[in-house]
Amino acid sequence: MARTWEYKTVALTHGTMGVSKGKINRPTLEAELATAGREGWELVHFWPDTSLHQEKDGHLLIFKRAAH
């Protein structure tokens, strides 16, 4: 039986991640990763300084976990 996955994305805008574009606030990032990990999510990709459609630009995190 093939495993199926569910995915979620989290956008961390520059206001929450650091004082200016390109800077990453490590405690904020670590807190987001820890929260996702407790919920069973695994980080599969991180795009820094991403232009997000109709949202504030920021850092995009992509997570996956086995579908229930």
pLDDT score recorded for residue 41: 97
Burial of 16 (0-12, 13-18, 19+ CB in 10 A): middle
The answer, yes or no, to whether residue 18 has pLDDT greater than 80, is no
User: Please, which residues bridge with residue 43 across strands?
Assistant: 63
Q: How confident is the model at residue 58 (pLDDT cuts 50, 70, 90)?
A: confident
User: Is residue 13 a contact partner of residue 58, using CB atoms and an 8 Å limit?
Assistant: yes
d(CA 44, CA 36): 12
pLDDT score recorded for residue 56: 78
pLDDT score recorded for residue 50: 80
Select from 21, 17, 20 the least CA-distant residue to 33.
Answer: 17
Strand order of the sheet with strand 42-50? 5-13, 58-66, 42-50
Q: How confident is the model at residue 4 (pLDDT cuts 50, 70, 90)?
A: very high
- What mean pLDDT is predicted for residues 16-37? 78
